[in-house]
Each structure stands twice: as structure tokens, then as C-alpha cells.
């Protein structure tokens, strides 16, 4: 379910008010001074909302994604978006839209020991899902080599 900017802001205000009600005045001024505003953008790059901190934005989305949001803002290529949104510390009217490109994926080819082609996968994750369909975690290329190196010749393409 996608929330509108107004719904997110209302939820943020509710969280903020409940947090302020539970804290003494002295502690409030200390906490507020360490908040760093974070700006939310849709995948189309359009500005949606501003939150006082990553923690409050994460709570407003009902996710505990503070670590993911922080690494996304710092430019971690593994996290081009978080919770279906893009995030920035700087406020812009719009930013470059998110394009889900397959350029980051490397194909992986499996060959039988006699050199004949067995199967090609679009990514290491696809190969992991093929050999371990019930697994919820991915495997590294090195782990694939350790597990299947005696049965197959494995090459990145």
C-alpha cells in the first residue's frame, strides 16, 4: 500500500507528538538538535515529503529501515531505492528517476566437466534460486564455486 504525502506527514506528526509527550523539555531540545532532515522522492524523481530524521521517516513507513536508508543516502549502489522511494539529505524539486537496469547483473554459465554447456543464469541470485529454491539468502560467486566446483565449470560472463 502506497501512502500519500499527506498521510505520511500526518503519521509523522502523530509519532513526533507521542515522542515529545513522553520526554522532558530538557531532553526534547537536546534530541531535536541532532535531527537531520531527510527528503523523500518517488521513483519518478518527484519530491514527496520531508521528515525530521531517518528514524522518523522509517517509523512513518512502518518499516525499520534506518540502516538501509542511511547507506542509500551515502550512495551505496546495492540500494538504489529503499521501501519504494529514493531519499536525499538535500532538498530538490525533483531528482533523476530510478531506472531498474540489469547492467549490475552478471550472467553466470555452468558447464559440465566435459566442457559442454549445462545452463546459463542472468545472475548469481538466479543460479542460487535454481539450485536452492527454498533458500531465502543468496550466495556469493565464491560459495557457488565451493559447492559446485567439482560438478561443473562455472564462469562469469
Q: What is the DSSP string of 96-149?
A: PPP---STT---EEEEETTS-EEEEESSHHHHHHHH-TT--S---HHHHHHHHT
Cβ neighbours of 47 (radius 10 Å): 16
Q: Identify whether 47 is part of a domain.
A: yes
Residue 50 has what pLDDT?
Answer: 92
Mark whether 20 and 52 lie in a shared domain.
Answer: yes
Mark whether 63 and 16 lie in a shared domain.
Answer: yes
Residue 65 has what pLDDT?
Answer: 79
Mark whether 82 and 10 lie in a shared domain.
Answer: yes
Q: Identify whether 74 is part of a domain.
A: yes
Condensed to tens digits (0 to 9), the pLDDT of residues 2-42 reads: 666 677 677 767 766 665 555 544 454 444 446 789 999 98
Condensed to tens digits (0 to 9), the pLDDT of residues 113-125 reads: 888 888 888 777 7
**Residue 82 in contact with residue 38, Cβ under 8 Å?**
no
Helix axis angle, 141-148 to 124-131, nearest 10°: 40
Is the pTM here over 0.75, yes or no? no
Residue 30 has what pLDDT?
Answer: 46
Give phi and psi for 45, each to the nearest 5. 90, 0
Mark whether 13 and 67 lie in a shared domain.
Answer: yes
**Residue 139 in contact with residue 123, Cβ under 8 Å?**
no
Residue 26 has what pLDDT?
Answer: 47
Q: Please, which residues have CB within 8 angstroms of residue 124's CB and are 6 or more apart in sequence? A: 106, 108, 138, 139, 140, 141, 144
Mark whether 146 and 112 lie in a shared domain.
Answer: yes
Mark whether 69 and 140 lie in a shared domain.
Answer: no
Give the domain range for residue 128: 108-156
**Residue 108 in contact with residue 141, Cβ under 8 Å?**
yes
Q: How many domains does the chain have?
A: 2
Mark whether 66 and 125 lie in a shared domain.
Answer: no
Condensed to tens digits (0 to 9), the pLDDT of residues 36-85 reads: 899 999 888 899 999 998 888 888 887 777 888 888 888 877 778 888 88
Mark whether 80 and 142 lie in a shared domain.
Answer: no
Mark whether 9 and 76 lie in a shared domain.
Answer: yes
Amino acid at each position: 500500500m502506497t501512502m500519500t504525502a499527506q498521510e505520511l506527514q500526518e503519521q509523522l506528526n502523530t509519532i513526533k507528538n507521542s515522542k515529545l509527550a513522553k520526554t522532558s523539555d530538557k531532553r526534547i531540545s537536546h534530541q531535536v538538535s541532532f535531527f537531520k532532515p531527510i527528503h523523500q522522492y518517488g521513483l519518478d524523481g518527484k519530491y514527496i515529503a520531508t521528515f525530521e530524521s531517518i528514524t522518523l521517516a522509517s517509523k512513518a513507513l512502518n518499516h525499520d529501515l534506518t540502516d538501509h536508508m542511511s547507506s542509500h543516502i551515502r550512495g551505496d549502489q546495492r540500494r538504489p531505492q529503499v521501501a519504494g522511494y529514493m531519499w536525499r539529505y538535500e532538498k530538490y524539486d525533483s531528482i533523476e528517476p530510478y531506472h531498474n537496469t540489469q547492467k549490475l547483473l552478471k550472467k553466470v554459465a555452468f558447464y559440465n566437466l566435459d566442457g559442454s554447456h549445462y545452463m546459463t543464469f542472468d545472475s548469481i541470485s538466479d543460479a542460487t534460486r535454481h539450485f536452492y529454491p527454498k533458500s531465502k539468502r543468496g550466495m556469493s560467486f565464491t560459495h557457488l564455486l565451493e559447492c559446485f566446483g567439482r560438478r561443473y565449470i562455472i564462469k562469469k560472463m
